[in-house]
Chain A
Amino acid sequence: MNKSQQAPIIDSEATVIRIEGLRKSFGTLDVLKGVDLTVLKGENVAVLGKSGSGKSVLIKIMVALLQPDAGTVIILDQNVHDLRGKALDALRLRVGFSFQSSALYDSMSIYQNLAFPLSINKPKMTRKEVDFTVEETLDAVGLKSKMLQMPADLSGGQRKRIGIARTLILKPEIMLYDEPTAGLDPVTCAEINALINQVQEQYKTSSVIITHDLTCAKSTCNRVAMLIEGTFLKIGTFDAVFQTEDAQIHDFYEYNFIQ
Chain B
Amino acid sequence: MKDNQEPSAVFSNSLDAYFIGVFRGFHFFLRFFKSVFTRPFHTREIIHQGYEIGLKSLSLISLTGFVIGIVFTKQSRPSLEDFGAVSWLPSLMGIAIIKALGPLVTAIICAGKVGSSIGAELGSMQVTEQIDAMEVSAVNPYKYLVVTRVIATTLSVPILSMYCSFVGLTGAYFNVHASENTGLRVFIQNAFSGISFLDIYTSIAKTVVYGFTIGMVGAFKGYHATQGTRGVGKAANEAVVLAMFLIFLEEILIVQVSNWFRNF
Chain B residues contacting A170 (CB-CB under 8 Å) are 137-138
Residue from A95, A117, A167 having most chain B Cβ neighbours under 10 A: A117
* A interface footprint on B117-160 (CB within 8 Å = 1, 0 otherwise): 00001001100111011011111100010000000000000000
Q: What residues of A have a CB within 8 angstroms of the CB of B82 in the complex?
A: none
Name the distance in Å between A85's Cβ and chain B's nearest Cβ.
Answer: 9
B136 close to A65 (CB less than 8 A): yes
A26 to chain B: which residues have CB within 8 Å?
4-6
Query: Is A63 in contact with B136, judged by CB distance below 8 angstroms?
Result: yes
What is the 8 Å Cβ interface bit string for chain A, positions 53-71, against chain B (1 contact, 0 not)? 0000000100101110100
From 167 to 226 in chain A, residues with beta carbon under 8 angstroms from any chain B beta carbon are 167, 170
Measured between alpha carbons, how far is A101 from B130 in the docked complex, in Å? 9
A105 at the binding interface (Cβ < 8 Å): yes
Q: State how many angstroms separate the Cβ of B108 from the closest Cβ of chain A.
A: 26
In the bound complex, CA of A90 to CA of B137 (Å)? 10
What is the predominant secondary structure among interface residues of chain A facing chain B? loop
Of the residues A27, A95, A100, contact of B136 by C-beta under 8 Å: A95
B129 touches A101 (CB 8 A): yes
Contact yes or no, A92 B40, CB < 8 A = no
Are B135 and A65 in contact, with the CB atoms below 8 A?
yes
B2 in contact (CB, < 8 A): yes
Do A103 and B6 touch (CB < 8 A)?
Answer: no
- Contact among A28, A90, A105 for B138, CB-based, below 8 A: A90
Q: Is the CB of A117 within 8 A of B4?
A: no
Question: Quick check: is A41 within 8 A (CB to CB) of the other chain?
Answer: no
Known: A67-B2, A95-B136. A123 touches B40 (CB 8 A): yes
Which residues of chain B have C-beta atoms less than 8 A from A245's C-beta?
none
Residue A93 lies at the interface, judged by CB distance under 8 Å to chain B? yes
A25 to B132, CA, bound (A): 20
By a CB distance below 8 angstroms, the chain A residues around B180 are none
With an 8 A cutoff between CB atoms, is A89 at the interface? Answer: yes
A133-172 with Cβ < 8 A to chain B = 166-167, 170
Compute how far the CA of A97 lies from the CA of B135 in the bound complex, rounded to whole angstroms.
Answer: 10
Q: What is the CA–CA distance of A121 and B138 in the complex, to the nearest angstrom?
A: 7
Among A43-92, those with CB < 8 Å from B are 60, 63, 65-67, 69, 89-90, 92
When distances are taken between beta carbons in the complex, the residues of chain A under 8 Å from B3 are: 66-67
Q: Contact at A92–B129, with CB atoms within 8 Å?
A: no
- Tell yes or no: A242 within 8 A of B by CB: no
> For the complex, is A120 an interface residue (Cβ under 8 Å from B)?
yes
**A140-B132 Cα distance, complex, nearest whole Å:** 24
Task: Write out the residue numbers on chain A whose beta carbons fall within 8 Å of the beta carbon of B133.
Answer: 97, 99, 103-105, 166
For B130, list chain A residues within 8 Å (CB). Answer: 103-106
Distance in angstroms between the alpha carbons of A63 and B130 in the assembled complex:
15
Alpha-carbon gap, A105 to B139, bound state (A)? 13
* Chain A residues with CB under 8 A of B121: 107
**In the complex, A252 has a CB within 8 A of chain B:** no
Which partner residue on chain A sits nearest B44 by CB separation?
Answer: A119
Any A CB within 8 A of the CB of B8: yes
Q: CB < 8 Å: which of B7, B124, B128, B136 contacts A101?
A: B128
A120 partner, pick from B6, B132, B139, beta carbons under 8 A: B139
A253 within 8 A of B: no
In the assembly, what is the distance between CA of A101 and CA of B121, in Å? 17
Q: Which residues of A contact B2 (CB under 8 A)?
A: 66-67, 69
Contacts A26-B5, A26-B6 given: A65-B138 contact, CB under 8 Å?
A: no
Tell me the nearest residue of chain A to B137, going by C-beta: A117
Complex Cα distance A120/B42, Å?
A: 9
* A contact residues around B140 at 8 Å (CB): 89
Cα–Cα distance between A171 and B129 once the two chains are bound (Å): 21
Q: Is the CB of A116 within 8 A of B138?
A: no
Residue of A nearest to B121 (CB): A107
22 A-B contacts (beta carbon < 8 Å): A26-B6, A27-B5, A27-B8, A65-B136, A66-B2, A66-B4, A67-B3, A89-B138, A92-B138, A99-B129, A100-B129, A104-B133, A105-B130, A105-B133, A106-B128, A116-B139, A117-B139, A120-B137, A120-B138, A120-B139, A121-B137, A121-B138
Nearest 9 interchain pairs by C-beta: A27-B6, A89-B138, A103-B133, A117-B137, A103-B129, A97-B136, A92-B138, A67-B2, A120-B139
**Chain A contacts to B: CB under 8 angstroms:** 25-28, 60, 63, 65-67, 69, 89-90, 92-93, 95, 97, 99-101, 103-107, 116-117, 120-121, 123, 166-167, 170
18 additional A-B pairs beyond A97-B136, A103-B132, beta carbons within 8 Å, are A26-B6, A27-B5, A27-B6, A27-B7, A63-B136, A65-B135, A65-B136, A69-B5, A89-B138, A92-B135, A92-B137, A92-B138, A95-B136, A99-B133, A100-B129, A117-B139, A120-B144, A121-B139
